[in-house]
Structure 1
């Protein structure tokens, strides 16, 4: 038996992945450009969109890219971003959840009721709310798997049912105020990472990226597969470190980096690792790409669907808690209005395919950054929400059109 450490003989198969491996930084850049031409756009469109949006709003109002406004933006994007992160999970499995807004609203109401009306500890209130969200996702999974109810229908029913549950919990009160001196409100409004620690976290994030990439490279080499060159991995890590250090420096010019934003980034990184580096995550991609092929490959498809719904509803519940803590209250409008549509739009604008099987956790971060940037820019220009709806709708339409065109291009070039 050959040891894993035994050198692998040079490949002679013209289709072998190793023979097409790009060499050095220049080779990797050319390979990335070739993938873009073939329709594998990745996060390029949304990054380009953010640059365009920021450039336009900065030209129209010089305070848009100020440190103060970006700190406010980093606060405001978190609750919706957490909900969008759950939408990413369910879209990757090829399904949809239309009830995330109502689930976030009933979660906010549950947290306020347990904390204020029943005077229970904050931790218990959060656990009850998140557990309730996960239970909702499990119910969706059972309805979909056992009774064949389409996810569109079962979650649409949930949207109405949990909106009613939210109103019932509030019992006619317009709002239940959460004490301003509670840790939950302070976390969402006034708690910031110490300056020295924010720089340390930036270095740790870049170091973690390098460590994960290095470990993956070693595993692939031992398996006789192509792996990225050390130079390319170091170049990516250094670029990431430079971007993070500059971002931290710029935010620290005023109030700094909020702990709530750190929580959001940690959730994105955790979901990204789960989706990209675990068997469960690969199963979600497989089911979203072709459920029947995944079943024949031995994947427990119903379990994957249920897990995706649970993750989606659980994150929606957490997003509702953050909405309530940001406003220091849970009211009848929490989770209503455009929360559903904005969460789905953020996931799709960020690069998650509506067709399933393509996307990443970073889609939630980038997509919600686009939506909140539009909202912030229009607020600074004193324009009402009608413009925000129209612009966000147009951006969503462009994102779906790009995804559809890229999908056809990938098929034409044999990339699936």
Structure 2
């Protein structure tokens, strides 16, 4: 049996690009351009180890909400309540920790369960009553603001002092743990890729050329190891008072959920059903897929991920207030998923899209702040980037339809 070559894969990839299957390429190129622009303008601050680490902490809430929204967007639905939903979940955790004195082992699961319940309710309203998701989640967007105000007694700020919770989005791993994590991550990726390649070859199935598999492994190592080196540099402003070096704790948290989410979408029956429903609802129903259950499940997953985002933002701020999860969080989260490559029309999306898109969003926010630009300019530029991403998606779909894809 003939095996595909690296050249053949490259030709197929180029044909896919010409046919409208752009994937993450626009987002990655855009991210590189933004880094070059801000790095040239404010290299001493933007490219510093301190700012690099802060980007992970700043983007955590947006990335997690966006990862959940990918599941919803895959069905061609939308969840406008995810931002304030994350705020409600964060408030539940903070109130249990501070007002009731419960340990984090109770408060964090309670916040997560709150997110799941919210998602199930939203999903049932969409799936069983047939109310458009835009209307349901818009109503929830307004309602959760009221719930948040009620939980916080009208407008108070609830501070948290639990060391474990505050360390989630403020703490760092030790230098040794940072390197162990990086090496283990690359080694684990290499092991999975090589075992998958060997398994397919042994069963006589079509497999990627070994050269391409090795190139992927080397590419990940070239990305992870230098990043780890930067994160293990000393970045404390005053080293005589304290030392600050090591990978932020939130990084392995993001990576863990990225791996789990990718596995669920790509390697499980549920993931295949999500893609099938997003591609063609009627065909999926005729194939025996429980469409309503899939709808409820994706909303539950989205709200669960929003609860993680709420936990992390409360951890970073060490408090919760009526604005937690509000402001531009929802718009930035939807923008992150779309900018990363997830289609607004359903049927196309990956968890990695949320991470890459979140990086684009936070780099714009961070870089423009360092340049001293006002909020008006930041909103205009971010809106233009989102519009460009949506335009690329629409044009790609048109090109794919024209080429028969």
Q: State the TM bucket, normalised to the shorter chain.
A: over 0.9
CA distance in 2 between counterparts of 1:209 and 1:362 reads 15
Q: Secondary structure of 2:320's partner?
A: strand
Q: Secondary structure of 1:147's partner?
A: coil
* Shift in Å, 1:65: 1.4
* Shift in Å, 1:224: 4.9
Residue 343 of structure 1 pairs with residue 333 of structure 2: yes
CA distance in 2 between counterparts of 1:54 and 1:102 reads 30
CA distance in 2 between counterparts of 1:29 and 1:336 reads 44
Q: 1:168 aligns with which of 138, 150, 168?
A: 150
| Offset from partner CA, 1:262-292 (integer Å, 9 cap, x none) | 1012111110111111111111111111111
CA distance in 2 between counterparts of 1:154 and 1:31 reads 42
Evaluate the alpha carbon distance shift between residue 218 and residue 281 of structure 1 in structure 2; reply closer, same or farther with a 3 A threshold: farther
CA distance in 2 between counterparts of 1:219 and 1:358 reads 27
Q: 2:180 aligns with which of 195, 200, 216?
A: 200
Partner of 1:358: 348
* Shift in Å, 1:219: 5.3
The 8 Å contact of residues 88 and 347 in structure 1, kept in 2 or not, is answered as yes
Partner of 1:253: 233
The 8 Å contact of residues 104 and 318 in structure 1, kept in 2 or not, is answered as yes
Partner of 1:116: 98
Give the CA RMSD over aligned residues. Answer: 1.6
Q: 1:104 aligns with which of 82, 86, 90?
A: 86
The 8 Å contact of residues 195 and 252 in structure 1, kept in 2 or not, is answered as yes
The 8 Å contact of residues 94 and 287 in structure 1, kept in 2 or not, is answered as no
CA distance in 1 between counterparts of 2:202 and 2:149 reads 58
* Shift in Å, 1:230: 1.5
**TM-score normalised according to structure 2 size:** 0.93
Partner of 1:70: 52
CA distance in 1 between counterparts of 2:199 and 2:9 reads 20
* Shift in Å, 1:223: 6.0
The 8 Å contact of residues 92 and 107 in structure 2, kept in 1 or not, is answered as yes
CA distance in 2 between counterparts of 1:245 and 1:222 reads 32
CA distance in 1 between counterparts of 2:134 and 2:195 reads 40
Q: 1:242 aligns with which of 222, 225, 240?
A: 222
Question: Any residues of structure 2 matched to 1:137-286 within 5 Å, and which?
Answer: 137-179=119-161, 182-189=163-170, 191-218=171-198, 220-221=200-201, 224-254=204-234, 255-286=245-276
CA distance in 2 between counterparts of 1:213 and 1:175 reads 48
Aligned residues: 394
Partner of 1:390: 380
Partner of 1:47: 28
The 8 Å contact of residues 22 and 31 in structure 1, kept in 2 or not, is answered as no
* Shift in Å, 1:41: 0.7
**TM-score normalised according to structure 1 size:** 0.91
| Offset from partner CA, 1:38-88 (integer Å, 9 cap, x none) | 211111100000011111111111121121111111111112111111111
| Offset from partner CA, 1:332-386 (integer Å, 9 cap, x none) | 1101111111110111001100011111000111111011101111111111221
CA distance in 2 between counterparts of 1:196 and 1:35 reads 42
Q: 1:38 aligns with which of 16, 19, 24?
A: 19
CA distance in 2 between counterparts of 1:367 and 1:268 reads 13
Q: Secondary structure of 2:309's partner?
A: helix
| Offset from partner CA, 1:217-269 (integer Å, 9 cap, x none) | 45545665421112211111111112111111122123231111210121111
Partner of 1:295: 285
Partner of 1:3: none
The 8 Å contact of residues 276 and 347 in structure 2, kept in 1 or not, is answered as yes
* Shift in Å, 1:213: 3.0
CA distance in 2 between counterparts of 1:53 and 1:275 reads 30
CA distance in 2 between counterparts of 1:188 and 1:209 reads 25
Instruction: Using the TM superposition, name which of 93-102 and 205-214 deviates more.
Output: 205-214
Partner of 2:242: none
